[in-house]
Structures are given as C-alpha cells and as structure tokens.
Amino acid sequence: MQMPLTNQRKSLQPANPLGALTDLLQADLEAVNALIMQRMQSEVELIPELAGHLIAAGGKRIRPLLTLASAALFDYKGTRQHKLAACVEFIHTATLLHDDVVDDSNQRRGRSSANALFGNEPAVLVGDFLFSRAFQLMTEDGSLEVLRILSGASAVIAEGEVLQLAATNDVKTGEAHYKRVIAAKTAELFAAACEVGAVVAERSAEECAALRSYGMNLGMAFQIADDVLDYTAKRERLGKSLGDDFKEGKMTLPVIRAIARADADEKKFWNRCLGEMEQSDADFDRACAILARHGALEESLVEARRYAGQGIDALGAVEDSPLRRHLEDLVVFAVDRDY
C-alpha cells in the first residue's frame, strides 16, 4: 500500500535535533540558502563553480542554523540573521577550502575535495573570495558589534589552524594544547554564530554571553566527539573516512590520553605512526585496540559530555521554550551521534 506523501516525507526526517531545528527554522534556512547561492556568484565562472561544488554537497549547515536558532530563541522578528548566517557559512566554507589544501585532503562531504578536483591554487583563492564576501555581507548588515565578533573569530580560527599545524606529528602534545587548538579552530565559530544571533535580537550583554558560552561548549563537545568518531564511526560521516586523523598524524584527545598511559612498546608505536608517519595497513587496528585498552575513547566522551553539560547550563539564562529544548538536545546529540 502506498503511504500518503506527507507521511512518507515525515518518515524520512532525521530523528536528531538538527532535523527538528531544520524543520522549525525551515523558512529562515531557505532564505539563507538562497542568499548563499546568490552571494557566492561572480563573473569569474570558476568561483561559483568551485564554491558551489562544496556548498551544494550540503553539509549539516549547523553553524548558520545556530545563528538562526539563536535569533529565534529571543523572538527576533527581522531578517538580519539571514545575511549573518550566510556570512558564518561563508567563513566556514573558506576555512574548509584552505583546510583541505593544508591537509592535502582528497575527500570532503562524501565527494572529491575542491582542491583534488580543481587544484590547490583555485581552492586557496576561492577561499579568499568567500572570506571577503563574508565581510562584505557583514558590512552590508552594518553592525560594528557583529563585525567585531566575526572578524575576531576569523583571526582566532586562523591562529587555531596554525597552532594545530605546529602540533601535528608531535607526540608530546598535551591536553591543554589540544583544547586550545579545538577551541580556536572549531568552537570559536560555533560561539560567534550563536552570539551574533543574540546580538541582532538586541539582547543584554549577559544573554549574548550566555549564547556565546552555549556555542563554545557545543563546539568543544562536537569536536571531541568528532575526534573520537575518527576511531569508531560506524556510519558514513559526511565523506570523512575512518582513520583520517591517524593517517595525518593528528594529535587528538583519545591519542593524547592513550600516550599518557602508554608502556614502552606503545610509546614506540605512537612515535613511529604519528611522529614519524611510518604506518602499515595493520597499524590503525592496533591503534584502536590500544585506545580501547586504556579506555581512552570512553574517557574522551566523558570530557565531551562535561562540555555538553556546561552548554546546557549556559542556556539556563534563557527562558524555556521548545527551541531551547532542541538546542539542549543538540549538545547531547553532538556527543552521542554515531556519525
């Protein structure tokens, strides 16, 4: 028997809070997507072609959703959040393009990466274009406070990327350094995305800070969980493969915890695989086994949950609403997802 179309559609909705947020903010999100498509245009055809390759591949659109949700949380009735959400997504897309060049990645969002398909040169330059476009959008919006938040976030992200580069292949990287990196390269944009939503809604400094804190903690939880998933993911993770971080010699929390407890043999193993980048096919499985033996993955998730709790606490400053509950669910989902 054929199901009615509306039910069919409903049954396809993802069962996670991102799906609920997307439903609730559907009209806003469509306005943002339209703006993204419109403002990534250029008479230089390669620009929309390359940017479109990455943007059309989708992605979770989690950062622009945060800006929309934050504005809606405070019952903001205007449309300024659309431009700023597009701007946040442009900054994110620019950093992805540059990241993939820096990491020499071949895959992104389940497709060939832009640098693999078009070459490193245009990937760098189109990233620059999107970055500039983001600042044009902010300038059109006209709020110096928003400009301060997002130009600051951009500088911090770049610092975080450089910091991460310095730690790659350094098996002596400590937990504090790791947290400094992910706070800068990931959590800062989550924080800024949330904060500007509160700023356009003209909320008090306390409420803007609460949303910023929510975003920061969500970002930390999200990135730690992502770093765990690199060793455990069961489902396809938007084009990222299992073991990418290991192959690139990235010093993430599970590895840092395991190295802290490594015996002499394990120390040699990590040093060879991540320090000297000499890896054989069986090494990733052995890495997973060592991480499991030391409980390093579970411990990392405990740490992610600690940030998730802080994120939920931060929302305590905001009046209860269905939207607030979706945002609370989102931090839990960020940690407990299996992709």
Q: Which residues bind its own copies (CB under 8 A)?
A: 42-44, 46-47, 94-95, 98, 101-102, 120-122, 124-129, 131-133, 135-136, 138-139, 142, 144, 147-148, 151-152, 154-155, 157-159, 161-163, 165-166
Beta-carbon contacts of 163 under 8 Å, excluding residues fewer than 6 positions away, are 177, 180, 181, 184, 185
Would you say 17 or 160 has its CB closer to its own copies? 160
Nearest to 257 by CA among 216, 290, 234: 290
Would you say 68 or 157 has its CB closer to its own copies? 157
Would you say 131 or 284 has its CB closer to its own copies? 131
Query: Shortest Cβ distance from residue 176 to its own copies (Å)?
Result: 13
Query: Shortest Cβ distance from residue 139 to its own copies (Å)?
Result: 4
DSSP assignment letter at 237 = B
Query: Shortest Cβ distance from residue 113 to its own copies (Å)?
Result: 15
Would you say 42 or 112 has its CB closer to its own copies? 42
Query: Shortest Cβ distance from residue 83 to its own copies (Å)?
Result: 13
Task: Output Rg (C-alpha) for the chain, integer angstroms.
Answer: 20
Kindly give the residue spans of alpha helices, DSSP state H, lying in 142-204.
144-167, 175-182, 188-200
Would you say 128 or 276 has its CB closer to its own copies? 128
Query: Shortest Cβ distance from residue 168 to its own copies (Å)?
Result: 9
Of the CA atoms within 13 Å of residue 158, those in its CB half-sphere come to: 10
- The whole-angstrom separation of Cα 3 and Cα 74 is 38
Residue at token pair 């405070």: 74
- The whole-angstrom separation of Cα 192 and Cα 74 is 16
